[in-house]
Amino acid sequence: MSKVIMKLDELSCPSCMAKIEGALSGTKGVTSAKVLFNASKAKAEFDDSQVSADELVAKVESLGYAVQSSKVKEI
């Protein structure tokens, strides 16, 4: 299992948080996803044989949220 932490541009509402969590959680290979509203961070744990951190970043960006590329950390 791998983990990724993404620093997002400021989230404007709790529904944004739910939208991102839902999209990440619904991605094949993701075992858990959590968005920290006040910290503007998204965290995901995933099976890197099924999905990559770059694909998860792209998923968040496809929803219209900017991910600060210098602040993506894969663990």
| pTM, two decimal places | 0.89
pLDDT at 70: 61
Given a cut of 70, the residues of the chain with pLDDT beneath it are: 70-71, 75
Number of domains in the chain: 1
CATH of the domain at 19: 3.30.70.100
pLDDT at 10: 73
pLDDT at 71: 65
**60: containing domain:** 2-74
What would the pLDDT profile of 56-68 be if each residue is shown by its tens digit? Answer: 999 999 999 999 8
Count how many Cα atoms sit within 13 Å of the Cα of residue 65 in the half-sphere of its side chain: 27
